[in-house]
Amino acid sequence: MAEFTMELNDEQKEVRDWLHGFAADVIRPAAAEWDEREETPWPVIQEAAKLGIYSLDFYAQQFFDPTGLGIPMTMEELFWGDAGIALSIVGTGLAAVGVLANGTEEQIGTWVPQMYGDANDVKVAAFCSSEPDAGSDVAAMRTRAVYDEAKDEWVLNGTKTWATNGGIASVHVVVAVVDPELGSKGHASFIVPPNTPGLAQGQKFKKHGIRASHTAEVVLENVRVPGHCLLGGKEKLDERLARARERAKSGGERVKNAAMATFEASRPAVGAMAVGTARAAYEEALEYAKTRSQFGRPIIDNQGVAFQLADMRTQIDAARLLVWRASWMATTGKKFENAEGSMSKLYASETAKKVTGQAIQILGGNGFTREYPVERMHRDAAIYTIFEGTSEIQRLVIARTLSGMPIR
């Protein structure tokens, strides 16, 4: 078991510097353009694929880093470049995590490579969980999956929303209800292969931030997928549902559902994204404060500005440490006994919103214009307290874990 450390090793530093160079030289120069266009930055994704950054092999190496710091380090550097473009590059990872968390070895080997494609023909994937009436309330999910035993096929019907890469993805991972009586315990995840009839893109959302990342509804009308597209397999599902029914009768412990298993694994990574955006805004504000003069001296000479910067840096470092701790715990198999994963996302997300807002304040009128990147960073930071579990949901998870009470 790797010991927890706050120092990256030489190999990790080399990867970090490589990613930072890509973020500085490729992502940042393109950030404003793709934010304005509100389109998927395919040329940037393809460049990342050519360099090996957008690939299964690269993310597998970071995912299996024994220290647990590979993924948060990667996320921080890419999102330091730009959140919208970075999410277009890493958004496929959520679908991949969905397969890794719930799938068999054969399913992982079959579907995850197809999510990325190759440098000459890049693909993206989508994880589809939220619905118009079921965001934080996963028990309200209505998308149904019904098993057609005669054909060994599952038939999916419903509408998903807020799906990153939804509709443009090669592979969709869809969470659906297989047993309505079990509520959130009666969910399962399914692979919808490329070009499957019945799956269509619904509304594409025009967003406040992360506008270079495609977000849309996914409509499923009598979508038929082979039995082997049920992640984990039917035997495992039947066993899990049987246990859930017995526990429901006896009032036993709660059973995790497929969507929550995915989100639990990805929360520290989202925290790292927020750290990257916060760090970028802090660095812009620090440089501006050192070079911008008012009343004959740099504005950083004023305590009102300098103290803000001191708080910003302190909060960023604290957020990074929470993210690294949670990532190390997840990799080394330590249980989140105090909801450490949720803690990391909560604090990092709130820090990103606060720090980017302070950066605008330090830049004054300039910070409010699109001529300076902190305006875009502030818009982007708003999403971290919303997606993959709102800050309110994170607080609920933490409070329930600490108290052992069913707080509502």
Global confidence as pTM = 0.94
Pair (320, 380) in one structural domain: yes
Pair (328, 268) in one structural domain: yes
The 10s digit of each residue's pLDDT in 88-127 is 999 999 999 899 889 999 999 999 999 999 999 999 999 9
Q: What is the CA radius of gyration of the chain?
A: 22
Quick check: 278 and 355 in contact, CB under 8 A?
A: yes
Quick check: 77 and 272 in contact, CB under 8 A?
A: no
Structure tokens at 273: 């994204």
- In 228-302, where does DSSP find H-type helix? 234-250, 258-291
Does a structural domain hold residue 1?
A: no
Quick check: 187 and 259 in contact, CB under 8 A?
A: yes
Q: How far apart are CA 234 and CA 181, in angstroms?
A: 18
Does a structural domain hold residue 178?
A: yes
Give the containing element (helix H, strand E) for 187. Answer: strand 187-192
The 10s digit of each residue's pLDDT in 11-61 is 999 999 999 999 999 999 999 999 999 999 999 999 999 999 999 899 999
Count of CB atoms situated within 10 Å of the CB of 239: 12
Q: How far apart are CA 374 and CA 391, in angstroms?
A: 22
Instruction: Please identify, among 75, 93, 122, the residue that sits at the C-terminal boundary of a domain.
Output: 122
Does a structural domain hold residue 4?
A: no
The amino acid sitting at 150 is: A
Structural domain containing residue 360: 258-403
User: SS3 for 22?
Assistant: helix
Tell me how far CA of residue 342 lies from CA of 156, 266, 346, 389, in angstroms: 31, 10, 6, 9
Q: How far apart are CA 130 and CA 144, in angstroms?
A: 13
Pair (268, 234) in one structural domain: no
Q: What is the pLDDT of residue 1?
A: 76
Q: How confident is residue 400, by pLDDT bands cut at 50, 70 and 90? A: very high
Catalytic residue among 77, 350, 375, 388: 388
Q: How confident is residue 255, by pLDDT bands cut at 50, 70 and 90? A: very low
What is the rounded average pLDDT of the residues 245-256? Answer: 67
Q: Which residue has the tokens 């599902």?
A: 237
The question of whether 388 is a catalytic residue gets the answer yes
Q: What is the CATH number of the domain that holds 218?
A: 2.40.110.10
